[in-house]
């Protein structure tokens, strides 16, 4: 994913980065090391980028609190990634060895908790009660979606509504919250705050669907992780759900393999090929495009500015990204 | 541990319980179930008890915020217990099957995060910036101590200072923070807040040392878990450290077994007997008594009241407890 979309807030993003780094310093050197490994593995910084652009786009000027809040959001996001990797038994994250592999589950779990605490501390200090509620409710929703996702593993007839409920809670609402917090802190009108939320939610859904597609079609070197992880782990993503729903022989075979708790690499590769032979990927991309359209409509409420342009560019980047 | 010490705040503790229960309800039934399993496993509610008694003892009257904060502290405490149990591979917690055993690591981890978020939300809404900093810094300190503890596993020459650093961060400072938050929210003088912190810190150290002793001498039925877990898991607790420090044959044998990553039940039982043949348990108890004395001195700053009496009773209970 090109990061040029965030150019108008590049100075602010550097301030966020400094704020994050200040917050991962610990009296326990190993904790600092693991936290820095997690935070420093790069990542797209999409959430802080969105919050800062939303803040600027509605005319926000006083940076002090939005920098802290953007850093808080990224710290919390990083905490959930570390814990997700433990739950998924991930080996690679952002092209780098996952913290739980490098340092062990126990220490990764502790570091996740540490990042959570640091994020909530910063959010609590910078934000009003409204902000605390938005951030906390979003995090509770993430836990709820993760739990729901754990219940539908290996389910080869997952209703689309359940899938959408999961990706909303897991991915889209955190991005919605980023946009909402940015517009709110920037002094946006009620209408602007609401429309920016719409933008964030829809861009988040599009982002997750493209993530799903990349799990099937992505270049492993660019992606920084192996293809077919969702298939291997029994996570019904959108192209999978679409490819498993009809009564063709290919669909039946995908269902058969997908439902197995243990799969060979050959079986995963076979499913990857079978999905590519259907129109599931095109259809999934049409879903993503439709979310992008809805996201872009949310921008109508903003006056023209380089920040608005950047939010539009992000919407394009999300769909065109290859990692 | 008898719970009669908390009788003067029994009404307030019931309100805390209701507040906790309101906060663990989730739209995802399984999350509610696991969170309720964790919260409902009983536990001593020592932290909310201490915060409420400190609040009342300095003359606090308006209950609304201290109830929320006490619930927040217990929610965060429960979150750390769930994550600790994952890290320790615990089977039993408070006499009940551990969440990670009953529901699996993945779902227990998610539930821990959920409880964290709910605790921080409540703390952020009820507390000023001062309170947010106290609670968050305490939590960060817990993570730091957990990390340090992970680094000294199987260490049979752990300096006493490192041991004390670990138990302070892991157990004593969270109880210090409970007392501090209670006295602060109750409008106590700077002196009272400081002395209540002293009380909490020292009662916490005493509590952890008695915990260490019970790991060696406790009745398994009363304790609600197996004896000798620290030995098995290579966690140097105080009686162990004291029993391993000299050059007697018994001490050498304890060191030998303790340092092994994998131990038989017979070896654990042998070490339990060897420790009991030394004066390590008596000496550890003298440490605990000395912490109790320091804690009690902290109470001098309080006017006489049933709450002060209760804090004194808690100090006795901590030393006399058998679970």
In sequence order, the 6+-apart residues with CB closer than 8 A to the CB of B82 are: B38, B99, B100, B108, B109, B111, B112, B115
Grade residue B3 by pLDDT with cuts at 50, 70 and 90: low
Query: What pTM, to 2 d.p., does this model score?
Result: 0.95
Interface contact A27-B132, CB threshold 8 A = no
Least Cα distance to A50 among A320, A315, A319 occurs for: A315
- Which residue of chain B comes nearest to A142, CA vs CA? B114
Instruction: Please state, in angstroms and rounded to a whole number, the distance separating the CA atoms of residues B180 and B188.
Output: 10
Token duo for residue A10: 């590049």
Chain A residues with CB-CB distance to B137 below 8 A: 121
Token duo for residue A146: 């993760």
**Confidence at residue A3, expressed as pLDDT on a 0 to 100 scale:** 60
**Confidence at residue B232, expressed as pLDDT on a 0 to 100 scale:** 93
Q: What one-character DSSP code corresponds to residue A97?
A: E
Per-residue pLDDT reduced to its tens digit, B153-190: 999 899 999 999 999 999 999 999 999 999 999 999 99
SS3 B118: helix
Per-residue pLDDT reduced to its tens digit, B92-124: 887 789 999 999 999 999 999 999 999 999 999
ipTM, two decimals? 0.94
**CATH node for B4-320:** 1.10.600.10
Mean pLDDT of chain B: 94
Per-residue pLDDT reduced to its tens digit, B9-26: 999 999 999 999 999 999
Least Cα distance to B119 among B169, B82, B170 occurs for: B82
Q: What one-character DSSP code corresponds to residue A278?
A: S
Could you tell me what percent of chain B has a pLDDT over 90? Answer: 88
Interface contact B132-A125, CB threshold 8 A = yes
Other CB atoms closer than 10 Å to residue A2's CB: what's the count? Answer: 13
Instruction: Please state, in angstroms and rounded to a whole number, the distance separating the CA atoms of residues A196 and B144.
Output: 38
- Which residue of chain A comes nearest to B109, CA vs CA? A83
CA-CA-CA-CA torsion for B121, B171, A22, B71, nearest 10 degrees? 10
Interface contact A31-B136, CB threshold 8 A = no
Nearest to A106 among B116, B132, B150 (CB): B150
Q: What one-character DSSP code corresponds to residue B224?
A: T
Distances (CA, A) of A299 to A291, A318, B29, B108, B201: 13, 16, 36, 40, 53
**Confidence at residue A220, expressed as pLDDT on a 0 to 100 scale:** 79
Per-residue pLDDT reduced to its tens digit, B134-158: 999 999 999 999 999 999 999 989 9
Per-residue confidence of chain A (323 residues) as pLDDT tens digits? 546 899 999 999 999 999 999 999 999 999 999 999 999 876 789 999 999 999 999 999 999 999 999 999 999 999 999 999 999 888 888 778 999 999 999 999 999 999 999 999 999 999 899 999 999 999 999 999 999 999 999 998 999 999 999 999 999 999 999 999 999 999 999 999 999 999 999 999 999 999 999 999 988 777 777 899 999 999 999 999 999 998 888 999 999 999 999 999 999 999 999 999 999 999 999 999 999 999 999 999 999 999 999 999 999 999 998 77
In sequence order, the 6+-apart residues with CB closer than 8 A to the CB of A140 are: B26, B114, B117, B118, B121
**Confidence at residue A187, expressed as pLDDT on a 0 to 100 scale:** 98
Domain locations in chain B as residue ranges: 4-320
Q: Is B277 left (phi over 0), alpha (psi -120 to 50) or beta?
A: alpha
The CA R_g of chain A, rounded to the nearest whole Å, is 19
- For tokens 């899938």, name the residue: A163
Instruction: Please state, in angstroms and rounded to a whole number, the distance separating the CA atoms of residues B36 and B108.
Output: 12
Q: Is 90 exceeded by the pLDDT of residue B63?
A: yes
Chain A residues with CB-CB distance to B27 below 8 A: 144
Interface contact B120-A118, CB threshold 8 A = no
Chain B residues with CB-CB distance to A139 below 8 A: 113, 117
Mutate to test the interface with B, among A99, A147, A153, A181 (most CBs of B within 10 A): A147
Other CB atoms closer than 10 Å to residue B40's CB: what's the count? Answer: 14
Give the B-side interface with A, CB within 8 Å. 26-28, 30-31, 79-80, 83, 86-87, 105-107, 109-114, 116-118, 120-121, 123-125, 127, 129, 132-133, 136-137, 139-140, 143-144, 146-148, 150-151
**Confidence at residue A71, expressed as pLDDT on a 0 to 100 scale:** 98
Burial zone of A78 (CB within 10 Å; 0-12 exposed, 13-18 middle, 19+ buried): buried
Q: Is 70 exceeded by the pLDDT of residue B2?
A: no
Query: Backbone phi, then psi, for B36, in 5-degree steps?
Result: -70, -35
């Amino acid at each position: 994913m090109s990061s040029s979309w965030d150019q108008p807030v590049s100075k602010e993003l550097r301030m966020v980065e400094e704020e994050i780094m200040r917050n991962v310093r610990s009296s326990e050197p190993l904790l600092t090391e693991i936290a820095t490994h997690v935070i420093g593995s790069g990542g797209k910084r999409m959430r802080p980028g969105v919050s800062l652009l939303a803040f600027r786009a509605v005319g926000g000027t006083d940076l002090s609190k939005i920098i802290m809040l953007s850093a808080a959001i990224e710290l919390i996001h990083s905490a959930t990634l570390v814990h997700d990797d433990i739950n998924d038994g991930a080996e690679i994250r952002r092209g780098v060895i996952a913290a739980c592999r490098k340092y062990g589950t126990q220490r990764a779990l502790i570091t996740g908790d540490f990042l959570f605490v640091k994020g909530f501390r910063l959010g609590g200090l910078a934000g009003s009660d409204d902000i605390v509620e938005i951030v906390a409710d979003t995090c509770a929703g993430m836990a709820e979606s993760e739990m729901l996702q754990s219940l539908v593993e290996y389910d080869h007839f997952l209703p689309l509504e359940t899938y959408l409920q999961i990706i909303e809670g897991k991915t889209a609402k955190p991005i919605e919250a980023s946009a909402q917090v940015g517009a709110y802190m920037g002094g946006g009108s009620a209408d602007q705050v609401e429309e920016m939320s719409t933008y964030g939610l829809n861009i988040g859904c599009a982002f997750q669907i493209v993530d799903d597609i990349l799990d099937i079609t992505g270049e492993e070197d660019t992606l920084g992780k192996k293809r077919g992880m969702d298939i291997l782990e029994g996570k019904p993503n959108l192209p999978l759900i679409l490819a498993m729903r009809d009564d063709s022989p290919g669909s039946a075979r995908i269902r058969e393999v997908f439902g197995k708790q243990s799969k060979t690499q050959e079986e995963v590769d076979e499913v990857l090929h079978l999905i590519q032979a259907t129109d599931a990927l095109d259809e999934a991309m049409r879903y993503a495009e439709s979310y992008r359209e809805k996201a872009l409509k949310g921008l109508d409420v903003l006056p023209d500015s380089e920040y608005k342009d950047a939010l539009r560019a992000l919407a394009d980047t999300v769909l065109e990204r290859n990692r």
